[in-house]
Structure 1
Amino acid sequence: MEVQLLIVDDEIQIRRGIELGIPWKDYGITGVFTSEDSPGAIGILEKEKIQILVTDIRMPGMTGLELAEFAKKRNPDIHVVILSGYSEFEYAKKAINIGVVEYLLKPIKIGELTALIQKIMGEIDTRELEEAQQRKEKLEQSLEAYFDGEEPGDGEYERLLEAYTGHKGNQHILCMVFDFDTRGTKAANGCVSYVREQLLNKDTGREDNFLLRWGKKLVWFTFMDICRSRDQVIFQMGNLLRRMNSRCKSSDYNGESGKIGIYGNFGLSAGVSEIAPLKNLRFAAQTGAELLDHRLYLGGCVLIDQADESCKNETMFSMDETAHLRLCIAGFRYGEAEKDINNQFCTMRDLKIASYDFVKGTCMNLVQLLFQTLKSSGMDVEAVLEKNRQSILAIPDLLTIEQYREWVLNVYYLILTGVSGHQGQTPNQMVITALSYISTHYRDEITVDSISSYVKKSKNYFSYLFKKEMGISFTEYLNKYRIEEAKKRMETTADLNAEIAREVGFRDEKYFSAVFRKLEGCSATEYRKKKGRL
Structure 2
Amino acid sequence: MNILLVDDESYVTESLELTIPWTELGIEDVYRADSVDQALTTLKKYDIDIVVTDIRMPDRDGLELLAEIGNTWPHIRTLVLTGYSDFEYAQKAIRLKAGDYILKPVDDDPFMESIRRVVNEIEAEWGQTDKYNQLAYQRQSELELLRDGLLNDLLLGREASDRSMLSRLETYDIQIKPNHTAQMLFVPPGSYTQDQTEEAIRLLEYAIGNITNEILGAHGGVWLGRAPQGGLVILWQYDAQIYSGYKLHIRELRDSVHRYLKTNLSFWVSDPFVFPAEMSSTYRHMMRFAHLAYAAAEQGIHFIQEQHQPLERPSAMKFMESLYKPPALIHLLESAQWNAAKQKVDQVLDTMESLPLTHEHLYEVYLAVSNALVYMAHHHGYKLAASDSGGLDPFSAQQITGSLSKLRLWCNSVLTRIELQGTPSALEPSRSRIVKQVQEMVAESLGQDVSVKTIADRVFLHPVYLSKIYKTETGEGLGDYIIRIRMEKALYMLKHTNSKIYEITAALGYQNPQYFSKLFKKHYGMTPNEFRET
State TM-score, norm by structure 2: 0.32
State TM-score, norm by structure 1: 0.32
Higher helix share: 2
